[in-house]
Structure 1
């Protein structure tokens, strides 16, 4: 059985996943790895961004680690053949509905944030984003011609009680192991789906998690509070769209998008999907300057959440911090190290 399936994908994906391979070989050489083309690379080879064989391999693994997908090369491909469609299909096919995105500021990078040191020093909160519902999956969705000229586009935001409850349970359970506070972000003031979200979260909290502190916040206010006072948050629970936006805002607090990993989890006993949140970054792809730490930290999350090796995850997290303490920096962090050199710095710290 494959322990970890690697899907390097497009852009800087293969570059950062190569560093994960180096770290995995040093940290846990017994780990069974497999690798498959994915996203635009898979479309070029097979005419599909996600083949049935790759999806089956993902479902049969203990964990999946993705690099990145997409780029201008595939902008003219049919919508259902674009690399991003492969990612959505992978998430849906694996049944991973809870996306964990940590906003963690490493001590050596407190001055690399765009916010003042006192606002981000010691920052550690987790965004739990619903991943397989909402406006990215809702139907109907289409673009139509209007009789009088012009066009109209329609996307549909849809959530059920069951979808909201299952991701909310992940947030509440996670909070119990942290600082015991959940902040649920939605737009219940203007959206019916947001109103249902608030009602379901409130009732689940009353019924099953009264010991956890629950706060509600409107998503636009959440965006403001993330840059005003981010350390007030412990676990932030959001839907798919708002989670996508708010987690990218939170990423900048840590110094760089190249620092933030993510985990997507499903039902107990199913494989998790792990990926850096930085995207394919086609503007720097092939230059060897991408920051591999988000991918390496995604591997750390896989060790912790899916591979049952928390002690190795602790070692890897400490090694990343030590490398940063020793001044290792890629250009996005104001340094000059290449992608491979940053990977080597983590290896040396290990």
Structure 2
């Protein structure tokens, strides 16, 4: 029997609730398709700070590195905001991405017919939205050096450095082109080449990479125009390729096309080794323990894990189909609830998903 080792990082806030739902579904899917999942749960984020004093314990990182895939729920809590930066949950996430050498973040954005009226945009503008954001993940301004704060007698200055090497741009652009080739053959590279030197290099390298993919149509947009176009005509996009900072912002904007950030999964991949799969949304500490969380993004992240990380395509399809079936029946969590649908809590939504599976 096929066997896969999965590290579960429930994290903070609603993380344990959506992890419980997703684990049940994964166990059912693995049984149905005759493979075995070995789960190992580890502390991460704020929960790890409380437990051992750091957001990414060495034992957690080693377990992740030795796994076949890592499934993360959510991290973060305002009570850690005054901590030194290295002792905040988000720093642990950056360290984990670097520790696993995950340079490519994939965020699919697809509007499901059952939820078309949940979006704040008119149905005619989003009915054909099916795009993928490919974001460079371990370079750019979040990791660039030098960075820090300097105090003088008169004032204080803070600074970060946005930098990319040609090899970093080449490896993420190759991923973008390969994904576009497998989809509808269109790639839009987003930069700020009219202002930033680093974007000049980005555009040059992406254009050069396009010569290896003659079947993919390449276009370029400045990031401000891309943000506008995502609202004005989102259906024009197939694959959006961009840097760490721009991708962070644009992918969250694109997420809201679906009506709720609680619906969207993501995958972070490297050249080899385990991938990291996580919902786009945060830890939502304001609804922690209230059974109000939407587990669907976590479930769809698990489906991406099955397909991209474990090559269990049939099981991935079944999870995605279960989500569609439950939504088609009119079941909704509070964040996607609309008149005429049936409102469910996190646990009850999990039960409906399990029944549909």
What is the aligned partner in structure 2 of residue 232 from structure 1?
236
What is the aligned partner in structure 2 of residue 52 from structure 1?
58
Determine which of 169, 178, 183 is the counterpart of 2:183.
Answer: 178
- 1:285 to partner: Cα distance: 1.5
What is the aligned partner in structure 2 of residue 310 from structure 1?
313
Residue pair 1:3, 1:307 contacting (<8 A) in 2 also: no
Distance 1:137 1:10 in 2: 24
Q: Structure 1 residues 128-137 or 71-80, which shifts more?
A: 71-80
Question: Which digits, 9 at most, give the CA deviation of each residue in 1:50-101, with x for residues without a partner?
Answer: 1111111111111101011111121122211111110000000000100000
Structure 2 gaps, min length 5: none
Distance 1:173 1:45 in 2: 42
Distance 2:290 2:134 in 1: 33
Question: Is 2:197 aligned against 1:197?
Answer: no
What is the aligned partner in structure 2 of residue 10 from structure 1?
12
- 1:120 to partner: Cα distance: 1.2
Distance 2:183 2:50 in 1: 44
Question: Is 2:33 aligned against 1:28?
Answer: no
- The TM-score with structure 2 as length reference comes to 0.95
Q: Secondary structure at the match of 1:76?
A: coil
Write 1 or 2 for the structure with the bigger share of strand: 2
How many pairs were matched up? 347
Residue pair 1:331, 1:337 contacting (<8 A) in 2 also: yes
Distance 2:128 2:62 in 1: 40
What is the aligned partner in structure 1 of residue 113 from structure 2?
107
Q: Structure 1 residues 71-80 or 303-312, which shifts more?
A: 71-80
What is the aligned partner in structure 2 of residue 167 from structure 1?
172
Question: Is 2:219 aligned against 1:215?
Answer: yes
Question: Which digits, 9 at most, give the CA deviation of each residue in 1:83-135, with x for residues without a partner?
Answer: 11100000000001000001111110011111111111132100000000001
Residue pair 2:193, 2:203 contacting (<8 A) in 1 also: yes
What is the aligned partner in structure 1 of residue 301 from structure 2?
298
Residue pair 2:185, 2:217 contacting (<8 A) in 1 also: yes
- 1:15 to partner: Cα distance: 1.1
Q: What is the root-mean-square deviation in Å for CA atoms of aligned residues?
A: 1.1
- 1:349 to partner: Cα distance: 1.1
Q: Secondary structure at the match of 1:279?
A: coil
Distance 1:143 1:341 in 2: 48
Determine which of 152, 160, 183 is the counterpart of 1:155.
Answer: 160
- The TM-score with structure 1 as length reference comes to 0.97
Distance 1:277 1:63 in 2: 17
Distance 2:14 2:226 in 1: 31
Question: Is 2:275 aligned against 1:272?
Answer: yes
Structure 1 gaps, min length 5: none
Question: Is 2:351 aligned against 1:347?
Answer: no
Q: Secondary structure at the match of 2:105?
A: strand
